[in-house]
Structure 1
Amino acid sequence: MLIDHWPLLGLRLTTPRLELRLPGDEELAALADLAAEGIHPPDRMPFLIPWTDLPPAERARSVVRHHWLRRGTWTPEDWVLNLAVIEDGRVVGLQTLAARSFTELRQATTASWLGVRHQGRGIGTEMRAAVLELAFAGLGAREAVSGAFTDNDASMAVSRKLGYREDGIDRTLSRGRPVTVRRLRLSREDWALRRSVAAGIEGLESCLGMFGLGAVDGAE
């Protein structure tokens, strides 16, 4: 079976409302459809790479290509875990956990998006709490980092709820214009203090080697 060769297919994260897992073909199609419908107002851009400026059909296709690319380039030294977020059987968004040189640095990065019709209901907090549980409790991370443009109040609110601290700024370009990104950092200690969302992990043990870890390395 394919799961014998790619055990990440059996990884499941759960919260009171959500399940997060690698998307199958139908779920990947649903993610693409969701992206085509829209993620943010057209006068705003929350992403460093403005992929949502693509026409709807191309935007959807870029979601599919991105998933295939990240699976195909996975190594224990450089990995990107793109998980479909599912509520009541419906795909509502994408939650990413990524790292380079994780076994040495024990630092992971989070990123995410929700379909516009699923925003404003607290899903963003639950889905990030789920991957933080994976990072800290499952994989033994010391820190998680993220970032948001200065006008992305929703992302900043999620970060504050979960215990992130601001960690300076970066200046970059988006849509050809200068923008400011607020860096955010969450220590293992702050995560433990603000660990308020119940989150579960299933199927991790057989995946640890893909993260460059052994059974002891990934234990909390």
Structure 2
Amino acid sequence: MEPITLTTARLRLRPFTPDDAGVVYEVCQDPAIQRWTTVPTPYTREDAELFVTRIAPEGWRRDGEYAFAVEPLTGGPLIAAAGLHACSPGIREVGYWLAPEHRGRGYATEVVGALAHWAFTGLGVHRLLWRAEVGNTASRAVAERAGFTVEGVERAGILKDGTARDSWLGSLLPADVGLPSPLPYLPAPVPPRTSTAS
């Protein structure tokens, strides 16, 4: 797919360029990003250059991962990164990080909402996933504010630094944000309640 740009009320989500390497490197020195995301640890300038010049563009070319640099509409350097990763037909997973000085302003929720809308209206996605290592309460709060339902814990759901770790798993469906689904959806019936009185 050809890279695209998305906008929200405050933000521009655009493809990465080689000029982003310096800011990506600096932001990814944040201990929270290194702790909770799958960026390499330690994160080097070479890692940043590889990401912006090869990994991100290749993801668009292969329709495997659509990575976005996020910057304010008013201008300035990028403040976040976000992306949609292909899992299987009609299913994508959202991921994101935010520079420390820009946290707590609702930017991450705004970004996830924009990606979800595009996934459902532009990509034919019928299920959007969110996954984070158990304990990453900040990421979970963003996902829940964006409308995701946390479905449970995946044992060994994330690989980080050569170790499998348990992850929270959540989903967002088009109907959750008032959009039609590209597929009919038949939810499982709710089992009847059983009496526990003796």
Q: Tell whether the structures are fold-level matches, with TM greater than 0.5.
A: yes
1:182 aligns with 2:165: no
Decide whether the 8 Å contact of 1:169 with 1:183 is kept in 2. Answer: yes
Gaps of 5+ in 1: 1-5, 194-216
Q: Give a deviation string over 1:74-110, Cα, whole Å, max 9, x none.
A: 555x511110000132210101112144xxx211111
Preserved CA contact (<8 Å) 2:85 2:93: yes
Q: Does 1:97 align with 2:84?
A: yes
Paired letter, 2:2: P
1:147 aligned counterpart, secondary structure: strand
Distance 1:178 1:72, change over 3 A: closer
Secondary structure of the corresponding residue to residue 98 of structure 1: strand
Size of the aligned set, in residue pairs, is 175
Match of 2:137 in 1: 153
Q: Please, which of 47, 50, 54 is the counterpart of residue 65 of structure 1?
A: 50
Alpha-carbon RMSD across the aligned residues, in angstroms, is 2.5
Matches of 1:108 and 1:17 in 2, distance apart?
Answer: 24
Q: Are 2:15 and 1:22 aligned?
A: yes
Post-superposition Cα deviations, 1:6-59, rounded to whole Å, max 9, x if no partner, equal 731xx11111110000022223432223223x15187xx212x362x30x5x1x
CA shift in 2, pair 1:100/1:153, >3 Å: closer
Unaligned runs of 5+ in 2: 183-198
Match of 2:32, SS state, is coil
Structure in which a larger fraction of residues adopt helix: 1
Q: 2:83 and 2:23 mapped to 1: Cα distance? A: 17
In 1, the alpha carbon distance for the partners of 2:149 and 2:27 equals 31
Task: Kindly name which structure, 1 or 2, has the bigger radius of gyration based on alpha carbons.
Answer: 2
> SS in structure 1 opposite 2:105?
coil
Aligned to 2:94: 110
**Higher RCO (CA-CA < 8 Å; seq separation 6+):** 1
Work out which of the residue numbers 133, 150, 175 in structure 2 matches 1:166: 150
User: 1:144, CA displacement in angstroms?
Assistant: 0.2
Identity %: 25
Could you state the TM-score of these two structures normalised by the residue count of structure 1?
Answer: 0.69
TM-score calculated relative to the size of structure 2: 0.76
Q: CA deviation digits over 1:85-138, x for unaligned, max 9?
A: 00132210101112144xxx2111110111122212111101111111110112
Distance 1:29 1:137, change over 3 A: same
Structure 1 equivalent of residue 196 of structure 2: none
